[in-house]
Structure 1
Amino acid sequence: MSETTTIRVSRSTHARVSQLASARHETIDETVRAALQALRQDAMARDLSRDLDGDESVWLSADAG
């Protein structure tokens, strides 16, 4: 890590992240980074699974040629 900063979390959250990082044999930074990626992927999956609105359906049905 070339640059760091501090974020405030509760002691219990810090302990949970530390335990998870240890179990995964990685640093807290790597564990938090992986968690953030998983949250982003989860949000994308929710967006992709929702029903299309009318405009989106029309756009996807348009002739590309």
Structure 2
Amino acid sequence: MSETTAIRISRDTHAQVTRLAAERHETIDATVSQALRALRQDAMARDLAAELSEDETRWLDADAGVMSSNSI
């Protein structure tokens, strides 16, 4: 582990993270890192699942200007 710092969390949260890290056979740092990654992935999934705006739909439906073999 490189440079470290301390964060204040409740004793209950600390106990939960410690227990989860032990169950996963990894450090608390690794467990928290994985939790942060999962939260970022969840946020990306929500963004991807959201309905497209009208502008996004028009952009995706626009002709890309690619010539097909039929048009040559």
Q: Would you say same fold, with TM above 0.5? A: yes
Q: Aligned residues: percent identity?
A: 69
Q: TM-score w.r.t. structure 1 length?
A: 0.97
Q: TM-score w.r.t. structure 2 length?
A: 0.88
- The Cα of 1:64 is off from its aligned counterpart by 1.2
Name 2:6's counterpart in structure 1: 6
Name 2:58's counterpart in structure 1: 58
**How many Å separate the matches in 2 of 1:41 and 1:58?**
27
Name 2:31's counterpart in structure 1: 31
User: Aligned letter for 1:57?
Assistant: T
**How many Å separate the matches in 1 of 2:7 and 2:63?**
50
User: Aligned letter for 2:32?
Assistant: V
**How many Å separate the matches in 1 of 2:32 and 2:39?**
10
**How many Å separate the matches in 2 of 1:43 and 1:2?**
27
**How many Å separate the matches in 1 of 2:2 and 2:48?**
35
- The Cα of 1:63 is off from its aligned counterpart by 1.1
**How many Å separate the matches in 2 of 1:32 and 1:63?**
45
- The Cα of 1:2 is off from its aligned counterpart by 1.4
- Gapped runs of 5+ residues in structure 2? 66-72
Aligned residues: 65
